[in-house]
Amino acid sequence: MNIGTRKILDRSFTAIGFGSIIVMALALMVVVVPILTNGLGAVFFTGTVEHRKLLHEEFQRGDTQDLSSEIASSERYRAKAYAILSDFEAELERMEPEQQGKYSSKYAQVRTSLQSLLGPLPGDSPAMLTRNKYGQTRWEKAEEKLHSFLYESKWDNSNSDVMGKEYFVRRSLDFKGTSLAPLFPYVENNLENMLLPRFTVYWGFLTDSSVDSHFFGGIWPEIQGTFFLAMGAMLFAFPIGVIAAIYFTEYARPGFLNSMLRSANSTLAGVPSIVFGMFGLAFFINTLHVSESKSVLAGSLTLAIMILPTIIRAAEEAILSVPKTYREASLSLGSTKWNTILTVILPAALPGILTGGVISLGRAAGETAPIIFTAAVSVGSAIGLADIFSSPTPALSWNIYNLASEHEAAAEIRHVQYGMVLALVSIVLMLNLSAIVLRARISKKLKG
Amino acid sequence: MATDVRQAPESASAKKSTRDIYLPPERKVVTGGGEAHIVAKNFSIYYGEFEAVKKVNADILSKYVTAIIGPSGCGKSTFLRAINRMNDLIPSCHTSGTLLFDGADIYGKNTDEVLLRKKVGMVFQKPNPFPKSIFDNIAYGPRLHGVSDKKKLMEIIERSLKKAAIWDEVCDRLDKNALGLSGGQQQRLCVARTLAVEPEVLLLDEPTSALDPKATAKIEDLIQELRGSYTIMIVTHNMQQASRVSDSTMFFYEGVLVEHASTAQLFTNPKDPMTEDYITGRFS
Amino acid sequence: MAAERSGESTRSNDFVLSARKRAAQKLITQFGEGVLFVLAAFVAIIVLFIFFFVARDAVPFFQIRGFSEFFTSSNWYPADDPAEFGAFAIIYGSAMVTLGSALIAVPMGVAAAICLSDILPFSIRQYAKPVIEMLAAIPSVAFGFFALVVLAPLMQNSGGALLMWVWWILVSPFLLLTVIVAADLLTNTIQDEKRRQQRYVTLVVLFGVIAIAVLLKVGAVLNGIQIITGTNALNVSIILSFMALPTIVSVSEDALQAVGRDIREGSYALGATRAETIVKTILPAASSGILAAVILGIMRALGETMVVWMASGNSSHVPEPWFNYLEAVRTLTATIAGDMGEADQVTGSARFHVLFAMGLLLLIISFISNLVSERIVVRQRKILTGQ
Ligand SMILES: Nc1ncnc2c1ncn2[C@@H]1O[C@H](COP(=O)(O)OP(=O)(O)O)[C@@H](O)[C@H]1O
Ligand SMILES: [Mg+2]
């Protein structure tokens, strides 16, 4: 090959390497950016008067006077719409049965649509579910609902070769000439006055319980559950892991038994997380009966087993990186081996051990599969500390799955899902980050 | 068994002769010293199959300074570390023959190596203070051996630091991290740390090889100060250093103790031609 | 004199204990070590327990239903009466997404590892490493959520165009390179410099035209593809490859780093370019370590639950044609996660046990892969340290 081509090949080889790293960085961005931007939307958003009404009624928050004046002002605008509705209902009464049939189903659609926008309308029976008690609490959702209030969506299936195409028809066309016709332009033009959107910071998203299976409210039970599970796992795994690491580094003699133990450790590290879940179910719950059924305890134990190999490895590495001279110095002063480990080696290895611990804590917080059968429930309130031995708990990781894949109105509460994902990702990344900072800090301190 | 060893019948006669051989004529005689403190008899050290120290017979006199010289890899460190059983850390290492400390077998069945190390302190080639405060470094040993009273600790620390001639430099920053000291200071701190356990023997393994000349001079002065209070053994590469600080000198070559004599004699009138070659720099 | 000495030596020899005290001391030390050993052996005990308890609930399934249906049939109707437990399509689905993710992650991961160990200057490497660590730290359910909520709709709505763009961006540089190299190789034997130049240019133009035609044609075909469902094997493969990447990169990088400097310098000294050095000397020397990395990365993809559960479509059938990554599939892990809740745990029905059979299958595969990769790493270390 001539040298020019060889050089081109060399350059492109470099480019491939760079390219793959850039692709990885992009992958990270592509995943993290939507989670970040949409997730922040769970706390920072344009809230409507319905949101403030909800906060006041469900959480007793907000100024009563301000709120009632806001409601009064919004009711003033809503009254006109309600009046149009009652006019049309009267007109509907007077119609021929045939015409009545033609309008009434369409009118029912309009009414439902308006209900979801503004909340219960005059003449509705009181709502059973909280989700039906309020109109749209978020302005961007209100705008979506406004669109489906104004337009009816239809599917064009004329060409059977390709998938059907969606298209929209103005509802006002259906009601041309009736007394309902003015409703559409009126709502379109006065929606802001009826909902009073305002920039809102809802920290309660992190500290409130959910209302009506996450239609409203916050994710505190999930955050707390995640905290309990991860901390519980650490409580079991950390001491055992560190002690095992001490054994492997300071006491184990090379040989068959030792290599068996090491193989066991890497085998455990490679077990698929769902198998941990099955084991937790079969062993902790069905055999040991640590609890009646799912519980925080069973989940923590399962997670503990999962993170044990990581902790052992990190601790081992940290202990091995302690200079041999410390050991010699301590022993030459007449210290016993055990005392040397406790007073010299472990303190020096602490940054590494803690780093491994914090990263494992993040892993325990983020894992879902091991807790599906052992600890997680979809709905529920925050549990007390005393209940961890007997009750299951909601947890961020599980509820993200549950809300996104199994919730009856998953598409309606995307903002909650995003908020949960952001909460989980930031907990995990923050733990990782603090591990890095911790490592830097303590090792700096050790260096004097 | 133990009582047998303690009586150590031969050591009395050995003592007589060694005194004559090793006592330094030109140096100040140490009162109360000069007895055989450590005695090696046919003592060998192996790493697995490899015999690193071969059948050494030697008496180390109490309260005097004994230097160990020899080319690198000849077993100096191995021999030194055998005396406080630091070689126990190396799994493949084992010994034969006897090594007596005050007449008791260091490698005896009932010897507690932890108690032994309290009596036989060691300072290593590279300064190795713990990553703790200066105070905690010195207090480490006394605390181990049961001193917890703060005032008593402070006394011990002051005394040790003064003995190690570093008190003036660190007395105002005892709570600072010891790793912030200079290399020479760290090494003297290590000496102080060892002295704080009140050992009888001080083993120094090339204590100045990692230091600059100024710090080296300070350590050498320190050794002179300590002479007469402790039995000191110092491994050194530097023959000037050996002749400056020691009373008697051992020359090792490939694991064999070639010659052991008073320093003055070994350097001026070596008996063995190999010793002569080494000290005149024909090989190293 | 003798009395004085012996008096002194009793004070001085106190490091010699009485035989009884020494024996007691040894006993205590050994007991302590024993306790430590038991705690260290805890991990091994857990591994045994995991095998035992998963197998204990898996064996009844094979006793009731035998092996052949499970491994050969694709009829998965565990809830019907009579129930059918054909898991072939599910095993196939697992294999498919694992392979798909490996196809993406292995070349990228190895290239990134090479880049990190041999190409990037240290200053940039400092920033690249946290990216990898962060990618590794993101919880799987977040990836699953992304796959379901962002990637799936995107594929469904504009999948064809997406595929076309990916094809163009990824493949055009390679085609360009191939054209240049092929032209170079074909004109290599011509001695006369001027004729060689002419031939070279003609060939480049000729091949270039062909390459562009191929690019455009395939691009158009891809653009015409309608992706029926966004939750499909391709979606999952892409996300799983993100998750396998950190493992592959970091383990391969270790393997590459373990290849000494001298090997590299030897190659440069012979006039090889960096790429040639890497491909011809470093990669072969590190190959077994990289293989271990690939195995570990693939295992991560095979064992992953949440992403496949949320975004694979969970449809238990072998796609048609068999390599159609645009169809929904179902995997072992997702089946276990999804069906356990409905399976009757108490009465120990086949429906419950079949899930443990799947778990056992996963466990055995991961166990074997782990052993293999461990052996490989040990062997490479031995070779490199020359033992
Ligand atoms: N841990 C060890 N394992 C095996 N051989 C060793 C070990 N330490 C030292 N040796 C060998 O023992 C011999 C003496 O070493 P050492 O006492 O350190 O020499 P010196 O201190 O005189 O330079 C050398 O040949 C060295 O290779
Ligand atoms: Mg040495």
Q: How confident is the model over C119-135, as a mean pLDDT? A: 82
Bridge partners (DSSP) listed for residue B253: B256
Bridge partners (DSSP) listed for residue B95: B45
Q: How confident is the model over C222-235, as a mean pLDDT? A: 88
Tokens of C261: 């400097």
Tokens of C113: 């590892």
3-state SS of chain C is CHHHHHHHHHHHCCCECCHHHHHHHHHHHHHHHHHHHHHHHHHHHHHHHHHHHHHHHHHHHHHHHCCHHHHHCCCEECCCCCCEECCHHHHHHHHHHHHHHHHHHHHHHHHHHHHHHHHCCHHHHHHHHHHHHHHHHCCHHHHHHHHHHHHHHHHHHHHHHHHHHHHHHHHHHHHHHHHHHHHHHHHCCCCCHHHHHHHHHHHHHHHHHHHHHHHHHHHHHHHHCCCCCCCCHHHHHHHHHHHHHHHHHHHHHHHHHHCCHHHHHHHHHCCCCHHHHHHHHHHHHHHHHHHHHHHHHHHHHHHCCHHHHHHCECCCCCCCCCCCCCCCECCHHHHHHHHCCCCCCCCCCHHHHHHHHHHHHHHHHHHHHHHHHHHHHHHHHHHHHCC
What is d(CA B137, CA B177) in angstroms, rounded to the nearest whole number?
Answer: 9
- Chain C positions touching A13 (Cβ under 8 A) are 274-275, 278-279
What is the Å distance from ligand 2's center to B190 Cα?
A: 18
Per-residue pLDDT, A268: 94
Per-residue pLDDT, C192: 81
Q: What is the pLDDT of residues A62-105, one digit of tens each?
A: 888 999 999 999 999 999 999 998 888 888 888 888 888 888 88
Q: What is the pLDDT of residues C162-200, one digit of tens each?
A: 899 988 888 888 888 888 888 888 887 777 888 888 888
Contact between chains at B140 and A328 (C-beta distance less than 8 A): no
Contact C327, C243 (CB under 8 A): no
Residue with tokens 């209030």: A149
For residue A21, is it within any domain? Answer: no
Q: What are phi and psi of A203, to 5 degrees?
A: -65, -25
Per-residue pLDDT, B26: 63
How many domains does chain B fold into?
Answer: 1
Domain holding B44, by residue range, is: 2-279
Per-residue pLDDT, B6: 38
Q: Is the CB of B120 under 6 A from ligand 1?
A: no
CA A410 to chain centre: 13
Q: What CATH number should be reported for the domain holding residue A374?
A: 1.10.3720.10
Let me know whether A190 and A305 are in one domain: no
Among the three residues A143, A164, A196, which one is the final residue of a domain in this structure? A196
ipTM for this model: 0.91
Lowest-confidence pick of B264-273, C5-14, C124-133, C367-376: C5-14
Let me know whether A187 and A233 are in one domain: no
Contact C101, C237 (CB under 8 A): yes
Tokens of B89: 């850390």
Q: How confident is the model over B127-137, as a mean pLDDT? A: 91
Domain holding A74, by residue range, is: 49-196
Residues 6+ apart with CB under 8 A from A148: A113
For residue B108, is it within any domain? Answer: yes
Q: What are phi and psi of B70, to 5 degrees?
A: 150, 160
Burial class from Cβ neighbours inside 10 Å (0-12, 13-18, 19+) for residue C60 reads middle
Among the three residues A161, A180, A196, which one is the final residue of a domain in this structure? A196
Q: What is the pLDDT of residues C318-376, one digit of tens each?
A: 888 888 899 999 999 999 999 887 765 555 688 888 999 999 999 999 999 999 988 88
Its sign, for the CA torsion C377, C383, C384, C385, is: positive
What is d(CA A41, CA A418) in angstroms, rounded to the nearest whole number?
Answer: 8
Which ligand is located closest to the Cα atom of residue B46? 1
pLDDT averaged over chain A?
89
Q: Taking each helix axis from N to C terminus, what angle separates A414-447 and C122-137, rounded to the nearest 10 degrees? A: 130
What is d(CA A221, CA A200) in angstroms, rounded to the nearest whole number?
Answer: 22
In chain C, pLDDT over 70 holds for what percent of residues?
A: 94
Provide the 3-class DSSP secondary structure of residue B217.
Answer: helix
Contact A59, A208 (CB under 8 A): yes
Per-residue pLDDT, C255: 87
For residue A163, is it within any domain? Answer: yes
- Chain C positions touching A264 (Cβ under 8 A) are 43-44, 46-47
What is d(CA A445, CA C76) in angstroms, rounded to the nearest whole number?
Answer: 60
Which ligand is located closest to the Cα atom of residue B53? 1
B53 confidence band (pLDDT: 50, 70, 90): very high
Q: Is the CB of B180 under 6 A from ligand 1?
A: no
Q: Is the CB of residue A261 less than 8 Å away from at least one CB of chain C?
A: yes
Let me know whether A186 and A249 are in one domain: no
Cα dist from B172 to B130, B175, B183, B274, C222, whole Å:
19, 8, 19, 50, 77
C270 confidence band (pLDDT: 50, 70, 90): confident
Going by C-alpha positions, the residue among C30, C131, C90 that lies closest to residue C359 is C90
For residue B45, is it within any domain? Answer: yes
What is the Å distance from ligand 1's center to A96 Cα?
A: 112
**C9 has a pLDDT exceeding 70:** no
Q: Is the CB of B52 under 6 A from ligand 1?
A: yes
Residues 6+ apart with CB under 8 A from C287: none
Chains that touch B (3 or more CB pairs under 8 A): A, C
For residue A42, is it within any domain? Answer: no
Q: Which CATH superfamily is domain C65-158+226-384 in?
A: MetI-like (1.10.3720.10)
Per-residue pLDDT, A182: 87
What is the Å distance from ligand 2's center to B125 Cα?
A: 8
Q: For chain C, what's the residue count?
A: 387
Q: What is the pLDDT of residues B140-154, one digit of tens each?
A: 999 988 888 999 999
What is d(CA C98, CA C295) in angstroms, rounded to the nearest whole number?
Answer: 11
pTM, to two decimals: 0.88
Query: With a cut of 70, which residues of chain A have pLDDT below it?
Result: 1, 160-163, 443, 445-448
Let me know whether A340 and A254 are in one domain: yes
Q: What CATH number should be reported for the domain holding residue B263?
A: 3.40.50.300
Tokens of C371: 């052993």
What is d(CA A345, CA A359) in angstroms, rounded to the nearest whole number?
Answer: 21
Contact C290, C117 (CB under 8 A): no
CA A151 to chain centre: 33
Q: Is the CB of residue B16 less than 8 Å away from at least one CB of chain C?
A: no
Contact B194, B121 (CB under 8 A): yes
Per-residue pLDDT, B131: 87
Contact between chains at B104 and C10 (C-beta distance less than 8 A): no
What is d(CA A138, CA A42) in angstroms, rounded to the nearest whole number?
Answer: 10
For residue B9, is it within any domain? Answer: yes
Q: Domain ranges for chain C, please list them.
A: 65-158+226-384
Contact A280, A302 (CB under 8 A): yes
Provide the 3-class DSSP secondary structure of residue A41.
Answer: coil
In chain C, pLDDT over 90 holds for what percent of residues?
A: 38
For residue B47, is it within any domain? Answer: yes
Contact C308, C140 (CB under 8 A): no
Per-residue pLDDT, C345: 56
Q: For chain A, what's the residue count?
A: 448
How many domains does chain A fold into?
Answer: 2
For residue B284, is it within any domain? Answer: no
- Chain A positions touching B128 (Cβ under 8 A) are 323, 325-326, 328-329
Cα dist from C51 to A122, C364, C368, whole Å:
63, 9, 13
pLDDT averaged over chain C?
86
Per-residue pLDDT, C181: 85
Q: What is the pLDDT of residues A334-375, one digit of tens each?
A: 999 999 999 999 998 988 899 899 999 999 999 999 999 999
Contact between chains at C141 and A265 (C-beta distance less than 8 A): no
Per-residue pLDDT, A275: 95
Q: How confident is the model over B172-180, as a mean pLDDT? A: 90
What is the Å distance from ligand 2's center to B209 Cα?
A: 10
Lowest-confidence pick of A344-353, C139-148, C262-271: C262-271
Going by C-alpha positions, the residue among B279, B271, B263 that lies closest to residue B67 is B263
Residues 6+ apart with CB under 8 A from C314: C328, C330, C334, C335, C338
B11 confidence band (pLDDT: 50, 70, 90): very low
- Chain B positions touching A255 (Cβ under 8 A) are none
**B4 has a pLDDT exceeding 90:** no
Residue A233, CA atoms < 13 Å, CB-side half-sphere: 33
Contact A79, A87 (CB under 8 A): no
**B43 has a pLDDT exceeding 90:** yes
